Amino acid sequence: MKTFIALLPALALMASASPFRLANDNSSVEDVTPSIKDVPLSTKDVSLEPLAGNTTTPGIDSLPTCAVPCIEVAIKSASDCELDDLPCLCKNRAKIAKSAKKCILSTCGAKKTQKKVVPQVQALCKAEDKKEEERRKAEKKKEKEQEEARKKAEKEQKERDKKQREDEKKKEKEEKKKQKEKEKEEKRKKKEEEKKKKEEEKEFERLRKEEEKRKKEEEKRKKKEQEDAEAGENEKRDDNEERGEPDFTLEKVKAAHTWWKLDKEHPVKGEPF
């Protein structure tokens, strides 16, 4: 941590003089570092003075005392980092350097070169940069997996919806087919009933005609029998007349009429005529 703090003044100088910027540089960060005249050389909550002249970083002689107040204020104003939070300091090193550069330039001057600073800062934050890169890769991988999972879920949902639509369509088709078969069966039954009814009516009409024919034949037969009987009677009468026998007898009258019967209350004696 002392090494990182020792590099910040030179890093600020490098940021102001270099034609390129370090990673995580944010050019939109305003310089809010006050002038050295407005900054006390020691603060109670943040103090880097104990680190001055106590660095062992190769290529850096020492932390200039004049830069200590500038760095103290820059850390507080440009980040929310604590002095012992190396990941936070590395992540915000560009902001801190940019915030402190004006104060350091006006106070200390450009005493350190970027050739000495860049390798040290990069080496110091290499592990943290690697962790940050791994974290970003992990987040990117997680986002990719989530996106793939989302797409997979959408695809599965689409397939389910498609299957559901196909099932509904198939079910509707089957229902229509069943309804059509049902209507066809009803028509067939109705047709058979109508056919059966017509056959029954036809059979009834046939029987009626046969009955009428039978009755006519029966009447004709009876009429013929009657005619034959009358003809026989006439022939017999003619025969009786020829023999001189009477054709009009009491038995025939009794057989044809009932008025001759005697009334029990009013008996009539003798023959009825």
Annotated binding site for heme: 85
**Residue position matching structure tokens 């029998």:** 225
Q: Where are the alpha helices (DSSP H) in 48-125?
A: 68-78, 86-91, 93-107, 114-124
List, as residue ranges, the binding site. Answer: 85
Q: How many C-alpha atoms does 193 have within 13 Å on its Cβ side?
A: 6
Spatial CB neighbours of 62, under 8 Å, sequence gap ≥ 6 = 6, 52, 53, 54, 55
Under a CB-based contact definition with an 8 Å cutoff, are residues 57 and 7 in contact?
Answer: yes
Task: Specify burial of residue 186 (Cβ count, 10 A radius: 0-12, 13-18, 19+).
Answer: exposed
Q: What six digits make up the tokens of 102?
A: 């004006």
Q: Tell me how far apart the alpha carbons of residues 151 and 159 are, in angstroms, rounded to a whole number.
A: 12
**Residue position matching structure tokens 């003075």:** 49
Under a CB-based contact definition with an 8 Å cutoff, are residues 31 and 44 in contact?
Answer: no
Q: What six digits make up the tokens of 236?
A: 């017999």
Q: Tell me how far apart the alpha carbons of residues 200 and 83 are, in angstroms, rounded to a whole number.
A: 113
Q: How many C-alpha atoms does 188 have within 13 Å on its Cβ side?
A: 6
3-state secondary structure of 202: helix
Residue 211: alpha-carbon gap to chain centroid: 74
